[in-house]
Structure 1
Amino acid sequence: MMTDGLDPTSTGLPGPRKIVHVDMDAFYASVEQRDDASLRGKPVVVAWRGKRSVVCAASYEARRFGVRSAMAAVHAERLCPHAIFIPPDFPRYKAVSQSVREIFRRHTDLIEPLSLDEAYLDVTSNKMGLPTATRVARIIRQQIREELNLTASAGVAPNKFLAKIASDWRKPDGLFVIQPHEVEAFLLPLPVGRIPGVGKVMEDRLKQLGISAVGDLRNLSQPDLHGLFGRYGMRLYELARGIDHSRVVPDRPTKSISAEDTFETDLTLDGTEDIIRRLAEKVWNASRRDGRVARTVVLKLKTSEFNILTRSHTPAVPLASAEELAATALALRNRVEIRASQKFRLVGVGLSNFQDAETQSRSSLFD
């Protein structure tokens, strides 16, 4: 009988699975503190300074003052005036993330990255022959600590939904396991806001219906939830019962690549050309590393009133250079019908509708 890891019993899933969700602790800020001893134990905020900048990451010392990721940098500075602001170094964070992934690959090939700092692992069968998923998670965390001098939190559960919740349960530097027979007792008292997809608006709507905990949600039937929330209501019905059939999907193809810039001061449309050219070069270089061909160009604009405008175009012939990408994006800009005085606070350039280079070459022979 297992006492250390997941008992391979079914919870409504197609087969017994053992899922680990690993989440690096305050990743960007922790890398900065690791690499600069003078930052350790101090409130570190990874963000560019400026009224339009947002926080990329905050150390736990900064979080004690209420600083959070995605918060406006000026607000973070008001909350924690003595914080040390560090401009982000994404190439360095990506390199560290790759080192973390190499540790994952020692244990399983079924790895689904969600971002640079978190991933799902299916360790139902693991390369090291460890008897339990909990043991795998412990060793992964130990290897990250010893080899990279960083900490990670992990959640172990029968599915992705529960594993992600579990990884946040004992942060930072924690491990939490939800055994199959513990699912119901764990879920019922949880606030409905812990369910993925239940944002503030949805949470308020549920509370108006007298639903504040997952246990309350379970009192509603499938037809009730479908009538209230459509297709997502069916998803809520399953998640409230700890059911999640989604599998860990390794090497998920990139659907789009984009880059955007928020201006220090609002610009007219004519004033965005240099920025669009710079973003186009950045996106083009990133797309070359992807190894596939993008067919569709997307231009995104955000007005000073926070309205978002997008324009897209799929050329008959795939783009061949960053210059062609920039030219296409600038042509899309001309399709934006606005008054001459309209100001913009953000512009973005993206590529989507990717195809394998080989597939694209074959199709072009018959065009």
Structure 2
Amino acid sequence: MQKLIHIDMDAFFVSVEIRDRPELANLPVAVGGSSKRRGVLSTCNYIAREFGVRSAMPTSVAMRKCPNLVLVPSRMDAYKEVSIHICEIFSRYTSIIEPLSLDEAYLDVTDCKLFKGSATLIAQDIRETIHRETGLTASAGISSLKFLAKVASDYNKPNGQFVITPSEICSFIAELPLNKISGVGKVTFEKLKSLGLEYGRDIQGVDQSIINNNLGKFGQVLYQRCQGIDKRGVETTRVRKSVGVERTFPEDIDDLDTLCSILTDKLIPELKRRSEKYLHERKISKLGVKIKFNDFHQTTKDFTYPNFDEGIFLDLLTEVVKRGDGKKVRLLGVHIGLSDIESKSQQFELSW
């Protein structure tokens, strides 16, 4: 049976800033862009969260909720340096590591002999080592199922850990709100509640066809999760599926010609530049345009096509703008999908 640990750093970016600037320790602090430039928060500390401030919140909204919020600009190089150190710590316990981002990863410690193979004690030692060597805290979730390890890491945040043993899996899932399961967002959760499904136990006792008919392919995944089935292991290589570029505007735009110019003169050239290193061995599978309107409603339109085509991008832009029914545009993005890998040499690993 697998022994999996999900490690999640606590408010990572902002914790690095507070570590390096101790005078901020008892203040509400966030990392993000200026409200004058339509910025968005990357993360915030737990003091700021008490005011209702959250990651991915527009800076202007965060400042209204917490007028004393200290806003710090992002220092990505510093975060990457710490992240590399943390990954090196992980490697002392196992070589089977799946980074999800700079601040979280799955570890398979099934064959780790430390602490007589106790995943609970291994996770505790990893967290203590991270704190001792970096000055930062991390939380951990431990389970034999991948999705439950991630759920568990959020239970005793910050600076804590939570274990779901094999014998506890069924009872734990029964009481688990469905929106705690990865993939169940706000819209999906509302749909599930409309069907009378709010907790794991509700899906455990319902016919699978009801879930599949309402949620499609994800319905099957969700049904299996709630039955305690998750056969996924920790993946040491991850394959990029798309490349994208987006821009948030200083002021909302309601003119299609202006949006078209931004698309063709700035976003598409930047997308081509970012895509170059992947297109030597990969192929384009689709083109897409994303828009976020001034009410924060977001919509995306894709078209299956094997090459960059400015005309198709412009057609997609026209379609998604129409969906706003006259609303101004806050953000515009373009992306390409990448085809399946054709040889093992085309795989790459996310580094810490």
TM-score range, shorter chain: 0.7 to 0.9
- 1:18-72: per-residue Cα shift (whole Å, max 9, x none)? 0100001011111111111222121111111226322210111101111111222
Matched AA of 1:160: K
* Gap regions ≥5 residues in structure 1: 1-15, 316-327, 362-367
Contact 2:115 2:121 in 1 (8 A): no
Evaluate the alpha carbon distance shift between residue 245 and residue 75 of structure 1 in structure 2; reply closer, same or farther with a 3 A threshold. Answer: same
Q: Deviation at 1:292?
A: 5.7
Q: Is the 8 A contact 1:262 1:346 kept in 2?
A: yes
Amino acid at match of 2:283: R
Structure 1 residue identity aligned to 2:82: V
Instruction: Tell me the equivalent position of 1:69.
Output: 55
Aligned-residue sequence identity (percent) comes to: 38
Give the aligned partner of residue 60 of structure 1: 46
Number of aligned residues? 334
TM-score, length-normalised on structure 1?
0.78
Kindly indicate whether residue 144 of structure 2 is the aligned counterpart of residue 158 of structure 1.
Answer: yes
User: Which position in structure 2 is the counterpart of 1:135?
Assistant: 121
Which residue does the alignment assign to 1:18?
3
1:302/1:344 contact within 8 Å kept: yes
Q: Which residue of 2 aligns with 1:11?
A: none
Distance 1:220 1:250 in 2: 35
SS at 2:183's partner residue? Answer: coil
Q: Match for residue 10 of structure 1?
A: none
* Aligned equivalent of 2:12, options 27, 30, 37: 27
Residue in 2 aligned with 1:314?
306
The equivalent position to 1:231 in structure 2, one of 217, 227, 252, is 217
Q: Max radius of gyration: which structure?
A: 1
The 3 A distance-change label for structure 1 pair 60 and 288 is farther
Q: Distance in 2 between matches of 1:359 and 1:207?
A: 43
Q: Which residue of 1 aligns with 2:65?
A: 79
CA distance in 1, matches of 2:251, 2:274: 27
- Structure 2 stretches lacking a partner, 5+ long: 347-352
Choose from 144, 155, 160 the match for 2:130. 144
Q: TM-score, normalised by structure 2?
A: 0.81
Provide the rounded CA distance (Å) in 2 between the counterparts of 1:299 and 1:230. Answer: 22
CA distance in 1, matches of 2:231, 2:267: 38
1:40 aligns with 2:29: no
Distance 1:266 1:295, change over 3 A: farther
Mark the CA change 1:22 to 1:289 in structure 2 (over 3 Å): closer, same or farther.
farther
Match of 1:302 in 2: 291
Task: Tell me the equivalent position of 2:157.
Answer: 171
Q: 2: CA distance between counterparts of 1:202 and 1:344?
A: 25
2:235 aligned partner:
249
User: What displacement does 1:270 show?
Assistant: 5.0
Alpha-carbon separation, structure 1, partners of 2:215 and 2:306: 34
* CA distance in structure 2 between the aligned counterparts of 1:359 and 1:209, rounded to whole angstroms: 44
1:337-359 CA-to-partner distances (Å, cap 9, x unmatched) read: 579x9964323344542687989
Distance between the aligned counterparts of 2:46 and 2:25, measured in 1? 11
Q: CA deviation at 1:238?
A: 2.0
Matching residue's letter, 2:181: I
Q: Distance in 2 between matches of 1:235 and 1:161?
A: 11
Range moving further from structure 2, 227-236 or 50-59: 227-236
Query: Is the contact between residue 294 and residue 351 of structure 1 (CA under 8 Å) also seen in structure 2?
Result: no
2:287–2:313 contact (8 Å) kept in structure 1:
no
Q: Following TM superposition, by how much is the alpha carbon of 1:219 offset from its aligned partner in structure 2, in angstroms?
A: 1.6
Shift of 1:301: 4.6
The residue that corresponds to 1:114 in the other structure is 100
> Alignment partner of 1:134: what SS?
helix
Choose which of 72, 78, 94 in structure 2 pairs with 1:92.
Answer: 78
The change in CA–CA distance for 1:171 and 1:313 in structure 2 (over 3 A counts) is same
Structure 1 residues 37, 291: closer, same or farther in 2, change over 3 A?
Answer: farther
SS in 2 for 1:264: strand
CA contact (8 A) 2:30 2:45 kept: yes
Say whether the 8 Å CA contact 1:108–1:127 is kept in structure 2. no
User: Which secondary structure state, in structure 2, belongs to the residue aligned with residue 114 of structure 1?
Assistant: strand
Indicate the residue corresponding to 1:324 in structure 2.
none
| TM-aligned CA distance change 1:80 to 1:329, over 3 Å | farther
2:41 aligns to what SS in structure 1? coil
Distance in 1 between the 2:300 and 2:223 partners? 33
Distance in 2, Cα, partners of 1:360 & 1:146: 38
Measure, in 1, the Cα distance between the counterparts of 2:132 and 2:275.
Answer: 34
| Superposition deviation, residue 214 in structure 1 | 1.8
